[in-house]
Amino acid sequence: IWCIRSFDAKTRAYARIWGMSRLFKEVAGLEPNYIIEVIAQRFDKLDSREKIKTLIHELMHIPKTFSGALLSHRGPHHEINDREVEKILRNLNSGSPSSRG
């Protein structure tokens, strides 16, 4: 997983995630990767807790297979929303294993 900071991006997002699928391996010999892009002008204004929540949210888009694909916000076995992000954050703060499983 790579992390980058973008400046002057024309988006309302605080951060976004990009996946590099198996196609990149087949064509260019690159293993699946993910890039989390934080949008500096928006992300930097968040307090520490909100920054962590934003990064958790982006990480939740990565499937357990780490295939380069991205999970949508809503799937048959998962949801990516503030409630689920809060659960993970509480588990991290309490030292418990993640509920994501």
Encoded amino acid at 70, one letter: L
How many whole angstroms separate alpha carbon 32 and alpha carbon 19? 7
| Range in 17-26, 34-43, 85-94 the model is least confident about | 17-26
* pTM of the predicted structure, to 2 decimals: 0.81
Q: Domain locations in the chain?
A: 2-94
Rounded Cα gap, residues 92 and 88, in angstroms: 6
pLDDT of 42: 95
Q: How far apart are CA 101 and CA 37, in angstroms?
A: 25
Task: Give the pLDDT confidence score for residue 100 in this predicted structure.
Answer: 47
The pLDDT score that the predictor gives to residue 98 is: 52
**Tens digit of pLDDT for each residue in 26-52?**
788 777 789 999 999 999 999 999 999
pLDDT at 70 > cutoff 60: yes
Residues above pLDDT 90, as percent of the chain: 57
In angstroms and rounded to an integer, the radius of gyration of the C-alpha atoms of the chain is 15
Residue 44, φ and ψ in degrees, nearest 5? -65, -20
